[in-house]
A = this chain, B = another copy of it.
């Protein structure tokens, strides 16, 4: 059975947007595809369950080595249109991790205070600390996505930001942050169905706002903005990954694989004791 499974690094390579790879055409990517994935939902769910203990152990080792001074950490950046599954990923994939080592942050429209600062100010304050896994539900990329599409700043300003973002992420990787960027790619049709599902269920009304429909009207502009993000900000240090997200089971499977691949690459290890274990044991038993 194990042989039929995809190695995490292979899935990673398959989903990566090639750095310096030229223009990206989102219409060329089928949002219902399952690249490298299991053949059906039940198999995917089984594999996700098998990955949970592996992820949990890697997370604990990552945290443990930070106690001994290792600065490394991981930041999962989730971007995608409304209903693409950013929140679902947190609820169904990230939820398997130990909350003690997690730092999840959702970025909404900036507050008054945030608006008075550089667009990266609030991002820096939300970064994972050494040993932690950080998750951004939306991120600094909104400043070249929603901000661009809605014309909230002049073109010159948002165009400069691609370079600023690449430099910022370069500084993160230099500091020991593994930056895992995931674009959740859904189809126009699937978004309609998911928005309708929110409207049809009073328990989901809080997830909906009429602004979601206004954004949907701007779908082509958003897709263009995403294409530019994927082209300009998929760098060698912090490449983008495109995860087809019309099928939730594939999305959860793929992101579990991506987390696994990146944690395996960090290859964290329990630190050696920096004290004399036998001395401590003797002292403890003497009390």
Contacts and interface: CB of A to CB of B under 8 A. Distances in A.
Copies in the complex: 2
A117 interface: no
A90 B95 contact: no
A217 B271 CA distance: 26
A275 B216 CA distance: 17
B280 A208 contact: yes
Nearest to A279: B210
Contacts of A209: 275
Given A205-B272, A206-B64, A91 B102 contact: no
A135 B171 CA distance: 31
Interface string A86-110: 0100110011011110101010000
B280 A192 contact: no
Interface in A118-169: 135, 137
The majority secondary structure among interface residues of chain A is: helix
26 contacts: A64-B206, A65-B206, A68-B206, A90-B99, A91-B99, A91-B100, A95-B95, A95-B98, A97-B99, A99-B99, A99-B102, A196-B284, A199-B277, A199-B280, A199-B284, A202-B272, A203-B270, A205-B272, A205-B273, A206-B271, A208-B275, A208-B280, A210-B275, A210-B280, A213-B283, A216-B287
Interface of A: 64-65, 67-68, 87, 90-91, 94-95, 97-100, 102, 104, 106, 135, 137, 192, 195-196, 199-200, 202-203, 205-210, 213, 216-217, 270-273, 275, 277, 280-281, 283-285, 287
